[in-house]
Amino acid sequence: MLTVNNGKFYLEGQPFQILSGAIHYFRTVPEHWEDRLLKLKALGLNTVETYIPWNLHEPKKGEFYFSGLADVEAFIALAQSLDLYVILRPSPFICAEWEMGGLPAWLLKDKGAILRSSHPVFLKHVEEYFDVLLPKFERYLYQHGGPVIAMQIENEYGAYGNDLEYLSFLKNQYKKHHLDTFLFTSDGPEFIEQGSLPDVTTTVNFGSRVDEAFGKLKKFKPNSPKMVMEFWIGWFDHWNGKHHTRSASDAAEVFKDLMKTKSSVNFYMFHGGTNFGFMNGANYYDLYYPTITSYDYDALLTENGEITEKYKAIKKVLSNYIDVPDDYKSKITTHTYGDVELTESTSLFDVLSDCSKKVNSITPLSMEELDHPYGYTLYRTTVNRQGELSFNSDAIRDRSYIYINGEYVLTTYINDQNKELKLNFTEESNVLEILVENMGRANYGEHLSDKKGMVKNIWLGQQYWFNWEMYLINTDHLPKEFVSKDSRFPKFYRGFIEVEDACDTFVDVEGFGKGNVFINGFNLGRYWNTAGPQKRLYLPGPLLKKGKNEIVILELEGTNTNRVKLVDKPKLG
């Protein structure tokens, strides 16, 4: 087992330096896992680390999912077959710029569930999840012949709360499920005191100022091993922001400092991957900052797994301390397939019966209350007044498109400075429709309880409006028939491409505004060209098939083209 003695790690009684890289199995298609892990090993690393997102594995209360992108056991077994150790981080909260920090949105339906606390309602949900998840890992522990050498209790808890009873509960869950392995917590250096337990190893997360970070750790726990659990060598991007980069030389210099101190290290990220579907998170401070689809992170590998100059610079530093392996020659290629004409289109309003479920309620319900946590919900009611009525958009999370009597009138966004609006109703009886998009729940900080959709009834013309129809848009069921009667956006566009060899590529949606791209029914994620910085969506080759492939675009706002391009390069910034 991995142990600590006199401030140093030991494995099987021998001094051991953890040289690890973060790869999130759920952000990379399984067919590419081996490629990424072999590149990690070729760098000279001995360990792979991954988070485990609760909301991926229990998307609905009591319904569990462990296949495809969620097959964490297959990922662990593959790492072992490549002679890599594994660090697991299955804490209920992961942050990771992932939707709601990994917490399932259905928790927000339960008003008694005080998130990340020892409140019994929340603990009951955690325990029921752990009763399914944690037993899967016992056979993979190092002492049982497996690769898992360490597991995390909670993630950056000191930056959220101070409930040590909650941390103790999580520790006891590992004991309950016979996970007798090395346990740790991880926090930024300034938060370690609130996020740690006395008898559990504390690790730190940072990207620079090595001596300062380890100095705080030494002051707090004098005999702690030096371990940076998240060595931030890049950063994530948000819509309406710039693409973040960090020079290879700067990251390598800080890594050199870590190696001089004989620290153990986990590169965050070694390979970032992609926030497929609707699973990006958001940071919510002065404003709301939703994370883009790409999780490239300016990491050691690009989003599509290519080796970077930063990778080479880190390997050069590492070669001064250990014998590094030869480079791994990847068999994965990218390809430009060219233009794809989208020959069919239909308005979302034409196909509601195909791709939505209707719910009626006296008041509008949030997406969480509707058991429809992601994507889009259409709210509809009748306004039996005429004239210009005042309206406050603070009931809407995050972005909405408002229609009166079948005509688009305006767009609202959570970051709008002016939320006091006026809507003009021309008839004695009017149909008001509000199409709401959840752009990603907060994954860090004080706003984790981040409800989406219409989070309360609207106050319109100095009164509430009752009796609502809600249409839960299910993009797992794309339109069967592309008929065009309603001229309004959103619109679905469909085209097909013949493929001889299925290679990685990027979908260039220049000319489109905002929406989602689906390949053979798989949701690649969001694009937002008018915001940036991301201009192309990564399409992994395994999602294509030899022969005919379907491409569907759900465009929310408008387009000046009916074509997309499949090209061999990303475009960030």
Check if 407 is active-site: no
pLDDT score, position 248 = 98
8-state DSSP, 477: S
Instruction: Give mean pLDDT, residues 526-549.
Output: 97
Provide the pLDDT confidence category of residue 483 given band limits of 50, 70 and 90.
confident
Residue 110's pLDDT is 87
Catalytic residue among 154, 156, 433, 437: 156
CA distances (Å), origin 328, targets 37, 39, 241, 300: 10, 6, 34, 14
Q: What is the mean pLDDT of residues 505-527?
A: 98
pLDDT at 326: 96
Q: Is 0.95 surpassed by the pTM of this model?
A: yes
Instruction: Please state, for a pLDDT cut of 90, what percent of the chain lies above it.
Output: 98
Q: CA triplet 544, 546, 548: central angle to 5 degrees?
A: 80
What count of Cα atoms within 13 Å lies in the side-chain half-sphere of residue 45? 28
Query: Predicted confidence band at 560 (pLDDT cuts at 50, 70, 90)?
Result: very high
At residue 573, the pLDDT reads 85
pLDDT of residue 413: 98
In this prediction, residue 393 carries a pLDDT of 97
Looking at every residue in the chain, the average pLDDT score rounds to: 97
Greater pLDDT, 573 or 198: 198
Tell me the mean pLDDT in the region 280-291. 96
Residue 79: its pLDDT value, please? 99
**What digits encode the pLDDT tens for the residues 132-190?**
999 999 999 999 999 999 999 999 999 999 999 999 999 999 999 999 999 999 999 99
pLDDT of res. 195? 96
Domains and CATH numbers, the chain: 2-318 (3.20.20.80), 338-345+479-567 (2.60.120.260), 352-473 (2.60.120.260)
At 528, the pLDDT band (50, 70, 90 cuts) reads very high
Per-residue confidence (pLDDT) for residue 112, from 0 to 100: 83
* pLDDT mean over 230-247: 98
Taking only the tens place, the pLDDT of each residue in 308-330 is: 999 999 999 999 999 999 999 99
Which residues 6+ apart lie within 8 Å of 25 measured at CB? 33, 50, 69, 71, 72, 75
How much is the pLDDT for 423? 98
Cβ–Cβ under 8 Å, residues 544 and 499: yes
Set 49, 58, 230, 433: catalytic member: 230
The amino acid at residue 570 is P
* Length of the chain measured in residues: 573
Residue 230 has pLDDT above 90, yes or no: yes
Mean pLDDT of the 369-376 span:
98
User: By 3-state DSSP, what share of the chain in percent is helix, strand and coil, each rounded to 5?
Assistant: 25, 35, 40
Orientation angle between helical segments 120-133 and 164-176, nearest 10 degrees: 30
Per-residue pLDDT tens digits for 434-473: 999 999 999 999 999 999 999 999 999 999 999 999 999 9
* Percentage of residues in the chain having pLDDT higher than 70: 100
DSSP 431-460: EEEEEEEE---B-SGGG-S---EE-S--BB
| Residue 306 falls in the annotated catalytic set | no
Q: Is the separation of the CB atoms in 271 and 23 below 8 Å?
A: yes
For the stretch 388-446, pLDDT in tens is 999 999 999 999 999 999 999 999 999 999 999 999 999 999 999 999 999 999 999 99
Residue 341 predicted with pLDDT over 90: yes
DSSP state letters, 500-569: SS--BEEEE-BTB-EEEEEETTEEEEEEETTT-SB-EEEE-GGGS-SEEEEEEEEESS-BS-SEEEEESS
pLDDT value of position 445: 94
Give the confidence band of 484 by pLDDT, cuts at 50, 70, 90: confident
Q: Are 556 and 333 in contact (CB under 8 A)?
A: no
CB atoms within 10 A of CB 535: 16
**Band of residue 9 on the pLDDT scale cut at 50, 70, 90:** very high
pLDDT band of 488, cuts 50, 70, 90: very high
